Chains A and B, each alone.
Chain A
């Protein structure tokens, strides 16, 4: 956004924007700062150290939990992207209210409800041993709706005659999807997949219910750590999580420009 030389009004807007950004980012900055603090307490700044990252790298439980989280996030976001994209296209094309409702319900439903119902479903209906598989299935379930919303929104912004024109040009329905629909909704698909990834990465409640005993994820592990005490190791792992998320966003922005170029 550009700021015109509108004098006082411009200044006021800048101040408000600054305050809003400070509110959002100051806590994050503090977490980052204290991950480098040479003290066991998150109370005062003592000095700079890499110590907590060193601790982190030698914490086998933490590394295992992180590995689980990444694996679950990757698998569940990929699956949710495929299914959610299909759902989004169907919602756009058929305009059946029940369809939309069914895809969206897990988004609006309280997480605790979804967690409990999935737990019962896995144990009593599927007779499944809780673990990685149950977590992945649960994450796919709540991610589909988010991807579907984003995909449907990007479809709604397109002229429907584009798809008819493609058919007119001799493209079969599948070729129309490959050459026209998919490239045009690509930004939405990428954004939806990214959302699914981050949602999976930081989900606590649903994971808590569907994880069982043997498997832990990063949020579950961090929670179990702070039950004892908030050590700066938690700050360090949070900082790394932030870094990962940020990298994902930058990555998506680098993939997207080719597709985003036509968008004004």
Chain B
């Protein structure tokens, strides 16, 4: 049984449905991410888990027990707010010990656990500083320390990295991963940044308009998106209109509009005639002038229209014979692979028969 379970949760604000019949299962000890564009309902779900908001319908269960009648201060759940919400009139040590004081722990235990947390969060020398005297990263560590000091079952994080600059964000990502592994507490992380979600999570729930679109491991989500929305939202992807010609056991044959036939991985539950899109990641598309591409199962002639060199990789935009554009991404590191094509070059693009995914409409 999952530690935290959402069963058909719905939340409406007036005529707007923020969360629409969402169901999720979050396992103990995992790093779970709610990912989606702003307004998709991810923060509303977080607030309902914390108890700041209540579902209009459905249940939120912790260890199988409904949380509906438990006020926020009694839930074994802690939140790290986007703004960190550090108490400005308290020192770092006072901030961190606040949950322990509220829990009426004995004074010596409060002292001991506060000191431990300060040390753990590398804030021992900042104990008597006020929040405004700290840097963004230090403030975040205070917020995390204050949340973890009371040893919650679940830690909720509401876009805690959004306010940091790119470099610091990467450092904090690594800190978060390590922290989660050390403390073993279930993290529920909310973000709109797909790269952040992929880097941090064990499981990701992609949300759209209040609904859960797909829940999967990062690599599954990236490799096998189940809808156009998920495919498009996570990373870059080429999308070609397609129709199923043959749905066989080991493979699928597709007709790409204006291009021709290809062989694609099998898709469960579709039959010949189904319409949709064939989606393939730019790094799965090979590009070449000579024979090696022609050995692939799927390959088509095209012409390089644009190229974006960004150091580590180059993105080539190739116009195919049918008129559609295809992005191909080539790393510039591998010797022999770093062919530099020019705009206007006639090339061949191709991909393996097991690359890409058919998205049924």
Contacts and interface: CB of A to CB of B under 8 A. Distances in A.
Given A169-B98, A175-B102, A262 B79 contact: no
Interface residues of A, number: 21
B88 interface: yes
A246 B146 CA distance: 42
B219 interface: no
B73 A168 contact: yes
Contact of B79 (A159, A165, A171, A180): A165
B85 A165 contact: yes
Given A161-B83, A262-B89, A170 B132 contact: no
Contacts of A184: 88-89
Nearest to B149: A169
Contacts of A159: 83, 85
Interface in B95-152: 98-99, 102-103, 130-132, 146-147, 150
Contacts of B11: none
A162 B85 contact: yes
Interface string B245-277: 000000000000000000000000000000000
A262 B131 CA distance: 9
B72 interface: yes
B130 A170 contact: no
A175 B102 CA distance: 8
Interface residues of B, number: 27
Nearest to B156: A168
B246 to A, nearest CB: 55
Given A169-B146, A175-B102, A264-B132, A164 B85 contact: yes
A67 interface: no
B233 interface: no
Interface string A253-264: 000000101101
Given A169-B98, A169-B99, A170-B99, A164 B89 contact: no
Contacts of B98: 166, 169, 171, 179
B78 interface: yes
A167 interface: yes
A183 interface: yes
Given A170-B103, A171-B73, A262 B88 contact: yes
A172 B73 contact: yes
B344 interface: no
Nearest to A180: B87
Interface of B: 50-52, 71-74, 77-79, 81-83, 85, 87-89, 98-99, 102-103, 130-132, 146-147, 150
For the complex of A and B, the 9 pairs showing the least CB-CB separation, nearest first, are A165-B85, A170-B102, A169-B99, A161-B85, A262-B88, A161-B81, A167-B72, A170-B73, A171-B102
Given A161-B82, A183-B89, 17 more contacts: A164-B85, A166-B87, A167-B51, A167-B52, A167-B71, A167-B73, A168-B147, A169-B146, A170-B73, A170-B99, A170-B102, A170-B150, A171-B73, A171-B98, A184-B89, A262-B88, A262-B131
Interface of A: 159, 161-162, 164-172, 175, 179-180, 183-184, 259, 261-262, 264
